[in-house]
Structure 1
Amino acid sequence: MGKSKTTKFKRPQFNAEGLPVNAVKDEDEDENYGESCPAAELLEKLQSPSADVREFACASISRVVQQSHTIPGFLQRDAVRRLGPMLLDSSVAVRETATGALRNLSACGGQEVCEDMVKHDVMTPLTVLLRECCSGFEISVVPMEDKRNPVEHVANEAVNLLWNLCESNTQAVSIFNKAGLLDVVVQCLEKYPHNVELAISAAHCLHTVTEDNPELLCSINTTVLGALENVLLSSQESMAHTLLRALTAGILWNIKSSLPAAHQAQILNTVVATLSQCLDIDAGAIIPRLRQAEEDRYLNTGAGVENETSKDFPVDEMGEEGEEPNPKINGNSKAVNIDYDVSDLLPRVREELREATALLTAQQTSLEIIVNMCCSDDPSDDEWEESSSSDESELGPDSLCDGVSSLMSPLCLSAEVHGALITHCIPQKVIKKTEFPSPEAIKICHPNPAWKCLIKRLERVQTRALTCLHSILSTMDVESLGGVTALQEAALHLSSLVFGESEIPNDAEFLEAVTSALRSLLQTIASKNIPQCMTPQQLLSLSEAASRCDVVSVRVNAVAILGITGSILAREKDTAETIQLIGNALLQIASKDTDLVVNGEALDALFDVFADGDEAEMAAKNIQLLPALKALQPVFKAKIRKEGRGKYAPQQLCVLDNVKTNLRRFISYLEKVVKK
């Protein structure tokens, strides 16, 4: 029922060992923490006069809270209030472990725990700690080159905690603004030449707090811009630095309105060039080389990969790390996609794996930034809903399709963004990334538990690329996309992704991404009367597969695809039989699907398919469309009345009301057709 605006991406949190928030480590189970939570004993040890005991307590808390069922026990005993002062302990080791404990607590406890932390004023000691760390950067002495800088390590934990809090709590962002923490985090970012781990943490944090934060923009000065530009133009070739540059590109995009007018075009071009260079890297070729390098290194040092214990790397949980929840819908009907990043949390002994993870995170981030670029200039979230609220007296049978027809024209995209994306061949590079992950990379990662987690990351890059392609197709005209031939090749490519195997893939995230891209592509093709490359039978099988998916947006996309295909067939000859198949499928969805939005989309598609044309009229009679819609009309109205209020957003209800009105008028139109 209209083009949905592709949304900006968010991620849930990981704890300090790289576990998803719902993971429970096998090692913890082996240590028999059992059902009893040692919260009281460990929190009591925080008051010990011995720094070693306090450090042990903080480290133990950090470990125990990775089991989500232990968190309530800590919260009931005021863990946040008691851990907060430990951030400013006289012992640097205690500061580090306390910050790590709070970081894990915020990660494993999620939004509710983060809100509790902010409520208990953890931001005050955290702010002081960050300022002290930054003031101590220059005076901190590291005795040996291979020794870590303890102050910078504390800062890294603190920045990650700050990142978690700001991503989960708007009050934390407000405190970030008022406390002037921008300059502090930028100082951490500037450590990139020798401490890329800290710089990446800072970049992640800045990427979060600069998004939709106009209050912060007044703090963007030449010093901040200079630091960001230095990172963006840095020449280090590691994958970690590639990730750092991608995140910095995202920060600059978020603060684009604060950029000097004279340099906006130049900086924008550099941002897109950075994303383009990141997408140029062939992960399918890099990953096997990195894996081989790891094996060679272990052979040369006399150790073996198999000797690495699970304490070095949470292999089982990381292997399942890609099992993300389905996209959530917020109050504005925008999908909030979940993302994970643990590249800074992998043990240093696995430097090649860290590099591979950083590369895939960088490419995923780059694709998400491009999505945000394409949707930032959308005229509205609900373009069709606005056009549907026009005067009913102006709406006749032919104009029932007006709302959908308007969707086939490109959305607004600024000339500067459009030009930069085309100059750096972003559409072609995005299409390349939509290909299935390299079989060679999959083969080499699969046998090794630690590397197996990359398979999910490879798949996620593909789904993000499909989502990105959807945004690009929605915002660019045919010529910008390479012309008719390029679109037909893209259609064949998407067709191969969906129908290349014996069965249509059933992964919900993949289906959502590929159906969104396919929908946008078919809309573009239809608007230019370009011959389609997929058969109606293929699209019907896709619709059938999508109908079994729990994700509403997948079912909506499938219905829209059927509507587009049917409306095109209605203008051709000898298509009545296929139109009947499509009509019957849409009627089934309109009456049987459990979601009102999908019901409405199916009715909307029926209006498009049967609005005009001899073939459509013949098909409508054969499937008894008029009596079917008459029978459906009171049921649909009753469902809106009973289920609509409270379950659906105001914008969705507006659309459903329009569909209800259009249904009444479409029935009147069909009655006139029958009388002819």
Structure 2
Amino acid sequence: MGKSRTKRFKRPQFSPTGSCQAEAAAAANGAGEEEDDGPVAEFLEKLQHPSAEVRECACAGLARLVQQSPALPGLARRDAVRRLGPLLLDSSLAVRETAAGALRNLSACGGFEVCDDMVTKDIMTPLVALLKECSAGLDSNEMSPQEKKDQNRNATENIANEAVNVLWNICECSSRAVSIFNKEGCLEIVLKYLSRFSTNVDLAISVAYCLQTVTEDNPDLLKSFSATALHVLESAMVCPASSMEYILLKTLVAGTIWNLKDVIPSKSQAEIINAILKILSEVLEMDAVEVVVQMKEAETQRLKTAAETEDILHNANGDDLMEDEEMEEIPHKRKARKKTFISDLLPPTDKELRETIALLTAQQTALEIIVNMCCSEDPSDDEWEDLSSSDESDAFLETSFSESGGQLLSPLCLSHEIHTALTNFFIPKKVFEKTASPSSIAVDICSRHPPWKPLIRKMNTIQCRALVGLQSLVSLLDVDHLGGAPVLQTLALHLSQLLFAQPDFVKNADFLEAISSALRALLQTMASKSIPQCMTPDQLMSFCKASIHSSNVGVRVNVVSILGITGSVLAKEDGTLETLQTIGCFLLEVATKDPCLVVAGEALDALFDVFADGKEAERASIQIKLLSALKEFQPIFKMKIRKEGRGKYSPDQLCVLNNVKMNLRRFVAYQETVEKRLTP
């Protein structure tokens, strides 16, 4: 259904640390119980407190509160953005960081409207100023007095990381923010941060996310990329993959460079495309299940070792506490409070979990880049295909309606360089492998450990992205490049097993949309090449009956298209009368009763496919009284287009609907000749 664009996904959020954690957690718990916005008012008032520590805790409390949906209206009413904005330039570095964290969470949780409102309330002015100050601070060789006081050598980079995340979220939602990014020279600033990838991979990853967002469909910014800027990206893309986080960084930078393809000299295009797909191939090659198992074992061993070390220390010291003088010998550590454990003296770490998340995110990102590479010139997937089942300018022969093909799928094409690279790096095979359901071993490990449980959703998302990638590749590549007819038949069997292994697949909206799109593309390719299909008509019908009630328009469009493809194949075979009648009745009901004209139009187009040709199709059309049903519906369809069209549908969708309306008139005329010929 056109271009599959990357959707806006929930972003990693800021978590307050230190002495403000308890207050922030209490605020989060209270937010769900309070009907008014009392906690919001209290924290916003404390933002003006003369004590930097109080201001910091207030920001941390707001950072937790904004993750509660009921708190968002109160924050908007009390102008939280205008109150938090000045704190981005607070004299305290800790306040700057927590204020940026609160704004980061607000932009991540609030969605498009909140982000656009943040731009309206001029959050970009202090944000850009903060980014510039951090950039200048990184140039300084000496620590500032405040940094010395806080004993935090990484304070500037930590603040920059939070600020870049705010910038990323807002630019993803607001074209005005992107325009300000362009005008204020933010590119040079964030590239400086990216250049520090060897010492601060977290900051580099945040910048890479931001760059991938702002370089998409932004020709003004692309002109600003100098040879030096491209060199920074190149250096990050070829950096050694010393950890999973660096693998994620390389993948994100590869996505950014893909966005820059229009400014890369044509002589270098093939080389760049090969470099990008080499990285994506290597990422998809990695076994996520193996990584989950290894990382969980490593975490378990690390925690066991830490506990044993703690016991040894405890036994050596008895119940005595460390004296302050002893603590002074351990630089940059907290002094002992009521009881001292070895874990208190070490920075908290969840390295193994972070590494696993980084790999899964890299694989998800790689799949999204592949989809966008395949569909870079097509309309977005919230638009209906701009091609109807026939062109208005073509002569239409009623007696050969089937020649139109009935397909609404836009013809896709790939450049020679991309096509060659996709096949050379075995991308189709690797994408197909990722369509498998998450391993039961990995799911079991993650289920038994709460901090790891969100990884199950991550693995499910990878499967959905792979199914969308499968759709794109099957639509684009020749059958031979996909592995030939046997591979396509195996894929069809695989998709049917995925479907029917999950009795409640209808409840999983993302999975249902992805697999219905993949199945539609696969069946269309197989039908066009006369490759026998592995799924029986009964299986397809049960799938379609279960899915047609989905609230997702894309799913319903896929369902009727699948039946149109199946029916058009069966119409040319003997002994298919009953099945064609069942398909015809189903499509008629969808066409006449679905509230969405897009679905109704696709259902009509599918009917044109099924009953355009073939003796069995002609007999079935008489049995289900197709002609009279369409004649009755024809004026209703025209009226709906006239009344609802301009208010609900885009110009491209209306163009398709008008073509379907014209084809309906022609198909009715064709059916009249069929009925005259077959009716005594």
TM-score class, shorter: 0.7 to 0.9
CA contact (8 A) 1:81 1:122 kept: yes
Q: 1:236 aligns with which of 224, 236, 241?
A: 241
> What is the aligned partner in structure 2 of residue 396 from structure 1?
398
Give 1:504 shift. 5.0
Matched, 1:349 2:342: no
Matches within 5 A, 1:5-154: 5-17=3-15, 27-28=26-27, 30-31=29-30, 34=34, 35-138=36-139, 139=141, 149-154=154-159
Partner of 2:167: 162
- 1:443-483 per-position Cα deviation (integer Å, ceiling 9, x unaligned): 11112221111111110100010011111111112122122
- Alignment correspondent of 1:218: 223
The answer to whether the 8 Å contact 1:62/1:102 transfers is yes
TM-score (norm 1): 0.87
Paired-residue identity, %: 54
3-state SS, counterpart of residue 642 of structure 1: helix
- The equivalent residue for 2:374 is 374
1:435 and 2:431 are equivalent in the alignment: no
Which residue pairs with 1:592 in the alignment? 593
Residue 214 of structure 2 is aligned to residue 209 of structure 1: yes
The one of 2, 5, 16 aligned to 1:4? 2
- Which amino acid in 2 is paired with 1:457? K
5 Å-filtered alignment, 1:391-470, equals 391=393, 393-399=395-401, 401-404=403-406, 407=409, 411-470=412-471
Return the offset for 1:215.
Answer: 0.6
| Distance apart, 1:393 and its partner CA | 4.6
CA distance 1:489–1:47, change in 2 (3 Å): same
Q: Aligned with 1:237: secondary structure?
A: coil
Q: Secondary structure at the match of 1:135?
A: helix
Q: CA deviation at 1:148?
A: 5.8
Number of residues of Structure 1 aligned to a counterpart in Structure 2: 623
Take 2:50 and 2:396, find their aligned partners in 1: how far apart are those partners? Answer: 80
SS of residue matched to 1:529:
coil
SS of the aligned residue for 1:49 comes to coil
> AA paired with 2:369?
I
> Counterpart of 1:183 in structure 2: which amino acid?
E
**What's the CA shift for 1:549?**
1.3
TM-score by length of 2: 0.87
Separation (CA, whole Å) in 2 of partners of 1:673 and 1:149: 79
> Does the 8 Å contact 2:386/2:653 carry over to 1?
no
Change (3 A) 1:29 1:183: closer
Q: Deviations over 1:486-521 (max 9, x none)?
A: 211211211211234556553111111011011111
User: Structure 1 148/419 Cα, relative in aligned 2: closer, same or farther at 3 Å?
Assistant: farther
Please tell me whether the aligned partners of residues 475 and 521 of structure 2 are also in contact (alpha carbons under 8 angstroms): yes
How far did 1:632 drift? Answer: 2.5
Q: Distance in 2 between matches of 1:135 and 1:100?
A: 21
C-alpha distance in structure 1 between counterparts of 2:221 and 2:251, whole Å: 21
Q: Indicate whether 1:289 and 2:294 are aligned.
A: yes
Q: Matches of 2:50 and 2:505 in 1, distance apart?
A: 63
Q: Are 1:199 and 2:204 matched, yes or no? A: yes
Q: After TM superposition, give the deviation of residue 194 of structure 1 in Å.
A: 1.8
Unaligned ranges ≥5, structure 2: 17-23, 310-346
Task: Check if 1:298 corresponds to 2:300.
Answer: no
Higher relative contact order (CA 8 A, sep 6+): 1
Cα 1:96–1:40 shift into 2, 3 Å: same
Deviation at 1:254, TM superposition (A): 0.5
Q: Report what 1:339 is aligned to.
A: none
Amino acid across the alignment from 1:398: S
Aligned position for 2:280:
275
Q: Does the 8 Å contact 1:640/1:656 carry over to 2?
A: yes
Change (3 A) 1:624 1:71: closer
Confirm or deny: 8 A CA contact 1:118 1:171 kept in the other structure: yes
Contact 1:620–1:626 (CA under 8 A) maintained in structure 2: yes
Equivalent residue, structure 2, for 1:481: 482
Distance, in Å, in 1 between the alignment partners of 2:674 and 2:57 is 81
What's the Cα RMSD here?
A: 2.5
What is the distance in 2 between the residues matched to 1:26 and 1:576?
A: 65
Q: Measure how far apart 1:275 and its partner are.
A: 0.6
Is the deviation greater in 623-632 or in 364-373? 623-632
CA contact (8 A) 2:85 2:123 kept: yes
C-alpha separation in 1, matches of 2:295 and 2:539: 40
Where do residues 515-554 of structure 1 align in structure 2 (5 Å cutoff)? 515-554=516-555
Cα distance in 2 between the residues matched to 1:508 and 1:111: 21
> What's 1:323 paired with?
none
Contact 2:59–2:102, Cα closer than 8 Å, also in 1? yes
* Counterpart in the other structure of 2:363: 363
Q: Aligned partners of 1:59 and 1:253: how far apart in 2? A: 37
Report the secondary structure of 2:398's partner residue: coil
Name the aligned partner's letter for residue 513 of structure 1. Answer: A
Q: Is the 8 A contact 1:103 1:157 kept in 2?
A: yes
Question: Is structure 2 residue 599 aligned with structure 1 residue 608?
Answer: no
Aligned residue number for residue 317 of structure 1 = none
Q: Distance in 2 between matches of 1:661 and 1:421?
A: 40
**How far, CA to CA, are the matches of 1:592 and 1:405 in structure 2?**
22
- In 2, are the aligned partners of 1:379 and 1:412 still within 8 Å (CA)? no
- 1:512–1:554: 8 Å Cα contact kept in structure 2? yes
User: Which residue identity does 1:352 align to in structure 2?
Assistant: E
Encode CA deviations 1:101-126: one digit per residue, 9 max, x unaligned.
Answer: 22222223322222222222221221
- The aligned residue for residue 182 of structure 2 is 177
Q: Are 1:637 and 2:635 matched, yes or no?
A: no
2:189 and 2:293 mapped to 1: Cα distance? 39
